[in-house]
Amino acid sequence: MRGVDERTGSVGSAIKYTLGSLEADIRCAIPGIIQSYDPDKGTCTVQCAIREKVSVNGSEQEMSIPVLPDVPIVMPRTKDYMLCLYPQKDDECLVIFSDLCIDGWWQSGGEQSQMDNRRHDLSDGFAILAPWSQTRKPDSPLKEEGIRVQNVKNKAYFWIKKNNVIVCSATGGISNYGQVIIQGKNENVYIKFEDEDIQIKCKNLKIETVEKIDIQALQDITISSLLSIKIEALTTLDLKSTAAMTLDATGPLTMKSAAATTVAGSTIDLNGTLRINGSPYLSHTHTAPDGGGTTSGVN
């Protein structure tokens, strides 16, 4: 004859069944797939990425967990600063579930009373934009110390490296819509683009240094202006090029120095009317001796 325990189940079995039912209702964390994003509220709808096994009439079946609506997005931020991301459909995330009901806090902030006694409920999840499956891993994950903000294809990134170097790279270009300050302290500042052109376009351009300015070119140097070009030096003015140098202006071209000015070259061509101290050089008049005379043209 079967005993009572065999007919009704042991106390241990009953406790195990009860705990199993309790565990099934407690939510901790689960990977999810974002279905939509509301940037105004900062929430998203999430489909849990793992199906749940349930018992239906004694038969174990797999069922999808219902889509979670209005899940707050977790982004790194403080009161005044944040790393802003825009989640897209099918992005992966990790949903963690609060110990207590978050409705009061979500609506009003600060310390609030519970609006419901639920615990670890599907209604109280937060979506963290953090994990990825192997099918969605980035092309170039960070493999050395530092911090890098990049797109998945690694075509644009801002990288703070461990050796106090900042690297900024973008195949589509870098745009700025405010003041730009590049400052080096006790070190040189380098702007270097090998095999590429550099173009500076602005309303006014001012280059100022407490010491010298050195402009070198292995080929042509061209300075052109629709109005006047003014080059001043308090000491020596030295314009040098291993190839041709062109100063081109449709208006006046002024070169001024408080000290000596030297123009040197294997051949110097001066075309047009040449004046020295206001007098034409080709047909100037001598004052001495005996009233001088007028020179003739150059053969």
Distance, in Å, from the CA atom of 257 to the CA atom of 260, rounded to the nearest integer, reads: 7
pTM assigned to the model: 0.58
Note the pLDDT tens digit of each residue in 159-172. Answer: 888 888 888 888 88
Cis peptide bond upstream of 76, omega within 30: no
End-to-end CA distance of the chain: give it in Å, rounded. Answer: 141
Full set of structural domains in the chain with CATH: 4-135 (2.40.50.230), 138-201 (no CATH), 207-294 (no CATH)
Residue 39 has pLDDT above 60, yes or no: yes
Per-residue pLDDT tens over the stretch 217-276: 788 778 777 877 777 777 777 777 676 777 776 777 777 777 777 777 777 777 777 777
Q: Are 5 and 14 in contact (CB under 8 A)?
A: no
Position 10 scores a pLDDT of 63
Most confident range (mean pLDDT) of 15-24, 48-57, 241-250, 254-263 is 48-57
Of 144 and 216, the one with more pLDDT = 216
Q: Do residues 46 and 95 make contact, with C-beta atoms less than 8 angstroms apart?
A: yes
Concatenate the DSSP letters of all residues of 129-162 into one string.
S----GGG--SS---SSEEEEE-TTSSEEEEEET
Rounded distance between C-alpha atoms, residue 276 and residue 232, angstroms: 19
Average pLDDT over residues 24-31: 84
Backbone angles phi, psi at 24, to 5 degrees: -65, -25
The CA-CA-CA angle for residues 291, 297, 299, to 5°, reads 135
Query: Contact at 8 Å (CB) between 154 and 140?
Result: yes
Range picked from 37-46, 189-198, 247-256, 277-286 for highest mean pLDDT: 37-46
**What is the spatial distance between Cα 78 and Cα 73, in angstroms, rounded to a whole number?**
14
Can you tell me whether residue 203 is helix, strand or coil? coil
Torsion sign across C-alpha atoms 189, 195, 199, 205: positive
Locate the DSSP E strands across 12-108: 29-38, 43-48, 52-56, 59-63, 68-74, 92-97
**Half-sphere exposure of residue 10, counting CA atoms within 13 Å on the CB side?**
3
Can you give the pLDDT at residue 18?
55
| Cβ-based neighbour number of residue 46 at 10 Å | 28
- Name, in order, each residue with C-beta under 8 angstroms of 297's C-beta and a sequence gap of 6 or more: 282, 283
pLDDT band at 17 (very low <50, low <70, confident <90, very high): low
Q: Are 122 and 68 in contact (CB under 8 A)?
A: yes
Amino acid at 40: D
Q: What is residue 24's predicted lDDT score, i.e. its pLDDT?
A: 62
Q: Determine the Cα–Cα distance for residues 239 and 214; give it in Å rounded to an integer.
A: 10
